[in-house]
Amino acid sequence: MHLVTYIGLAHHSEQTLAESLRVIGDGHASQPDVLHTCHTLAGFSDGHLARLAPIVARYGEQGHGEVEEPERLHAAGLAQVRSGPVGLLRDLQDLHVLATLVLTTWTVINQAAQGLRDHELLTLAGEAGGETSRQLSWLNTRMKTAAPQALIVAT
């Protein structure tokens, strides 16, 4: 069952997103809203991971020999930050890409959960997807705010 592949993808991509949010937040600490909001948003992902644990236990996860993982499944996280206003903009854009991967993963899982009539998984996929949308909304808001100054005026 390929669902386990996607449960594995959810697990891995949420983890990557949480770590990357913290790296970017800490790296742009001179922008306090970026610092603090990135940590809050990373907390969302931590919560999803915690709730995913019992589901992983039920279905298993890729990497346990059941299903072969397709190549190039995972997105790499952000290990370091760029500097300056344009650097911040690009970092937020990268976070947006990671969060989009998380969101579509939950969308796909949600579909499967309906087919399986798995209420626990369905609730998690719905709520985690909703919170991922909130992560994306903030990233989008912050990028729109930063873009004019960064692209037109900043040196």
Partner 1 sequence: MDRIADLWGPRTPHAKGTVWPARVDQYLADGLAEDQVDRWVQSACLLCSNGCGCEIAVRDGRMVGIRGRAGDVVNHGRLGPKGLYGSTPWASSPDRLTHPLVREAGRLVETDWDTAMARIVEVSRRLLADKGPLTHGFYTTGQLFIEEYYTLGVIGKAGLGTPHMDGNTRLCTATSAAAFKESFGADGQPGSYTDIEHCDAIFLYGHNMAETQTVLWSRILDRTRAADPPLIVCVDPRRTPVAREAERTGGVHLAPRVGTNLALMNGLTRELFVNGWVDEPWVRAHTVGAADLRSIVEPYTPREVARVCDVDAGELSRAARIFGESRDVLSTVLQGFYQSHQATASAVAVHNLHLLRGLIGRPGSGILQMNGQPTAQNNRECGADGDLPGFRNWDNPNHVRELAELWNVDPLTIPHWSPPTHAMQILSYAEEGSIGLLWISATNPAVSMPESARVRRVLAGDQCFVIVQDLFLTETAQLADVVLPAAGWGEKTGTFTNVNRTVHLSEKAVDPPGEARSDLEIFLMYADAMDFRDRDGAPLIRWRHPEEAFDAWREASRGRPVDYTGLTYEKLRGPTGIPWPVNDQAPEGTDRLYTDAVFPTDTDRCETYGHDLLTGATVTEQEHRALRPAGRALLKGARHTPPHETPSEDYPLLYTTGRTVYQWHTRTKTGRARTLNDAAPDAWVELSVADAARLEITEGDVVRVESPRGAIQVRARVGQVREGAVFAPFHYGAWDPAGLDVDASPSRQANELTMTVWDPVSKQPYFKTAACRVTKIRAGAGPAPAPTTAASAPATDGVPPTAGGPPTTTRRVDTPHYPNDPGAR
Phi-psi sector, 68: left (phi>0), alpha (psi -120 to 50), beta? beta
Give 56 or 86: the residue with its C-beta nearer to partner 1.
Answer: 86
**Footprint of partner 1 (CB under 8 A):** 30-33, 36-37, 40-41, 85, 134-135, 137-138, 140-141, 144-145, 147-149, 152-155
Is 114 strand, coil or helix? helix
The dihedral sign for the CA sequence 79, 136, 138, 144: positive
From the CB of 76, what's the least distance to partner 1, in Å?
25
Give 49 or 146: the residue with its C-beta nearer to partner 1.
Answer: 146
From the CB of 132, what's the least distance to partner 1, in Å?
12
d(CA 73, CA 60): 17
Give 32 or 54: the residue with its C-beta nearer to partner 1.
Answer: 32
